[in-house]
């Protein structure tokens, strides 16, 4: 046996052992050591059912709380709590409105404990409970305010520990890991595991798109209306056309008026599916599923594309935006394509930059189209445009003797790209006239909620608007409103209208795993990389910090919306760094870090997102 083979086998052995330990730890932490709550409840309005727990004389807090969004027409829900051994008191918040509701059943179950069936008749009303009556149909509650709750002290009984049964479960986890690694031993070569994991994610995206109900996701109703419009139309709509009023959000804006090209493509793709009799809601979401499928297919045939796509595996929030109708998925897809163009040796971008080639018209046209589409995205994706132009600048500097050739080609690409973007924007002015902006302001005044109307006085607007103008400092936004914490949480797994969350421990694990992931990449490139790789890393870090700063400034000066999806552009930029420094990160430690993040993301998407999302 050669030294190289022995080293490879030794590395595989410790990686296998590490994955087995991780699998056993997560089974223990997320399933064995946590209680599963099963609740049957009927409510009058969409609200939140929450449980708070405490030990002895501790006070209740949001840090010790868990819950689920409940809606009229559905009664059965499940979610995870904490270890039953840590609960002496349980506070039950059935809903947050003045009215009535009925708790029909509440059960806590956990391995190692007898199931705890909460005796509804013994619950003690404590706050804003006007009436509570237990009967054969459950506990009917009438609240006098928006914060009713009841208390109980559940009795927990431990089961005798069965070492044979529990040992067999851990052994089964290790056996599955061994079988998977043995069957996929060569997956680490040329990062072949990436398309395999992308295929798994694609299946999960299809499941989420299939089971979730209409508008179960952030602002999906306005995206669906905008997409539906383009099933039958090619030109942008008249701004004040009554047929599109439902596409206006509570803020008084319509996605049909923001210049994005996504809705045209998604609408026409939905139109193509009509002869197949596909469920209409699923059809409207199918374009984003197609986009992720194309990412998977591209990664299956290109090693560089695998590395650009790899960061898409480490956050379930990325998977989530491909599972419903929203334009962010198209933006990420275009950034992925642009990233592949920057790193593939024979890409169209590199053909444009290759001064040894004759004027490459096909490549110039395709790069121009890609640039033009990037110009028609939200501003949160513009850092990728900067990345492309810096790459052009680098090529210009390296080919100083032929700088005019590079300059001419970039100029032609830019003119064509701006013409494409201008055609979309020009079509809007063609339909609505030069007073388009005045019409938009009139429609905002007409369709927006009172809190968001331009005419509403500042002190009567929604509290999240114009924080700076109201006198709040940037420090207030960061410290009091926890901007960074909320942005991170909504970037690594928060579902529905940000009402479906994982546990605090999950987010802590994701935070430290992400930090290790970034430190590894920065350290590997800084220590082992060449000067070009280090410069690229610095550029991506700078663009990422700029994007974070712009998002923070937007929250401070316009609307406080700490949403992680605004920062997801950073992920394909990291993919470009990985692809350009492939030899620096091609080792078992890096793969283990990625698999760890993927397993955490898988848990969040399946056992938090899909499990709790309102069903169709």
pLDDT range class, residue 306, cuts 50, 70, 90? very high
Rounded (5°) CA angle 293-299-303: 180
For the whole model, what pTM was predicted? 0.83
Q: What pLDDT is recorded for position 524? A: 92
Cβ contact 386:536 at 8 Å:
no
Q: What is the arithmetic mean of pLDDT over 277-297?
A: 95
Take residue 572 and report the two structure tokens written for it.
Answer: 């394909």
Q: What pLDDT is recorded for position 342? A: 94
To the nearest 10 degrees (0 to 180), the angle between helices 382-398 and 403-432 is 160
- DSSP notation for 153-175: -----BPPP-HHHHHHHHHHHHH
Query: Tokens 């405490």 sit at which residue?
Result: 54
Q: What is the arithmetic mean of pLDDT over 541-559?
A: 94
Q: What pLDDT is recorded for position 258? A: 86
Locate the domains of the chain by residue range. 3-30+170-183, 37-152, 193-612
pLDDT per position as a tens digit, 489-543: 999 999 988 878 887 788 989 999 999 999 999 999 999 888 888 999 999 999 9
pLDDT per position as a tens digit, 95-144: 888 888 999 999 998 888 888 888 888 888 888 888 888 888 888 989 88
Q: Which helix (H) or strand (E) holds 17?
A: helix 3-27
Q: What pLDDT is recorded for position 1? A: 45
* Distance between CA atoms of residues 18 and 105, nearest Å: 41
């Amino acid at each position: 046996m050669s030294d190289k083979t022995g080293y490879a086998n030794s590395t595989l052995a410790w990686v296998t052992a590490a994955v087995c330990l991780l699998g056993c730890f997560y089974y223990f932490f997320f399933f064995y050591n946590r209680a599963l709550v099963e609740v049957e409840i009927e409510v009058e309005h969409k609200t939140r059912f929450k449980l708070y727990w405490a030990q002895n004389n501790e006070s209740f807090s949001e840090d010790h709380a868990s819950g689920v969004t409940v809606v009229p027409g559905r009664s059965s829900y499940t979610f995870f709590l904490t270890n039953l051994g840590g609960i002496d008191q349980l506070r039950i918040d059935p809903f947050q409105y003045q009215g009535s509701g009925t708790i029909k059943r509440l059960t806590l179950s956990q391995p190692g404990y007898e199931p705890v069936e909460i005796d509804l008749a013994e619950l003690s009303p404590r706050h804003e409970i006007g009436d509570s009556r237990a009967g054969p149909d459950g506990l009917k509650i009438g609240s006098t305010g928006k914060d009713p709750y009841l208390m109980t002290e559940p009795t927990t009984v431990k089961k005798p520990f069965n070492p044979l049964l529990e040992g067999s479960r851990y052994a089964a986890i290790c056996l599955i890991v061994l079988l998977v690694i043995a069957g996929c031993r060569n997956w680490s070569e040329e990062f072949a595991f990436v398309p395999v994991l992308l295929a798994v994610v694609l299946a999960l995206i299809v499941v989420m798109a299939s089971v979730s109900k209409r508008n179960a996701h952030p602002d999906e109703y306005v995206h669906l209306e905008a997409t539906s419009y383009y099933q039958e139309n090619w030109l942008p709509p008249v701004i004040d056309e009554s047929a599109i009023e439902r596409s206006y959000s509570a803020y008084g804006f319509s996605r049909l008026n923001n210049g994005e090209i996504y809705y045209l493509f998604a609408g026409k793709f939905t139109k193509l599916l009509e002869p197949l009799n596909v469920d209409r809601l699923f059809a409207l979401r199918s374009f984003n599923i197609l986009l992720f499928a194309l990412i998977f297919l591209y990664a299956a045939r290109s090693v560089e594309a695998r590395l650009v796509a790899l960061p898409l595996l480490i956050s379930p929030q990325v998977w989530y935006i491909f599972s419903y109708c929203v334009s962010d998925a198209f933006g990420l897809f275009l950034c992925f394509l642009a990233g592949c163009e920057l790193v593939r040796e024979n890409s169209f971008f590199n053909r444009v930059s290759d001064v040894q080639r004759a004027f490459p018209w096909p490549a110039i046209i395709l790069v121009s189209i890609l640039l033009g589409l990037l110009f028609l995205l939200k501003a949160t994706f513009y850092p990728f445009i900067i990345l492309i132009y810096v790459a052009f600048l680098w090529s210009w500097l390296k080919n100083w003797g032929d700088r005019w050739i590079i300059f001419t080609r970039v100029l032609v690409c830019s003119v064509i790209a701006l013409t494409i973007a201008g055609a979309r924007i020009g079509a809007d002015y063609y339909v609505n006239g030069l007073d388009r902006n005045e019409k938009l302001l009139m429609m905002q005044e007409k369709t927006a909620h009172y809190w968001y109307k331009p005419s509403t006085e500042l002190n009567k607007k929604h509290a999240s608007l114009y924080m700076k103008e109201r006198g709040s400092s940037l420090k207030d936004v960061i410290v009091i409103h926890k901007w960074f914490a909320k942005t991170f949480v909504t970037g690594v797994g928060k579902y529905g209208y940000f009402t479906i969350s994982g546990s605090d421990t999950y987010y802590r694990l994701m935070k430290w795993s992400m930090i290790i992931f970034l430190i590894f990449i920065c350290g590997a490139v800084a220590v082992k990389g060449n000067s070009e790789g280090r410069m690229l890393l610095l550029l991506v870090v700078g663009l990422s910090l700029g994007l974070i700063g712009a998002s923070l400034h937007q929250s401070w000066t316009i609307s406080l919306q700490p949403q992680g999806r605004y920062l997801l552009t950073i992920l394909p930029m990291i993919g470009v760094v990985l692809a350009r420094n492939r030899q620096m990160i091609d080792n078992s430690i890096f793969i283990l870090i990625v698999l760890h993040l993927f397993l955490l993301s898988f848990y969040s998407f399946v056992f938090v997102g899909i499990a709790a999302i309102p069903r169709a």
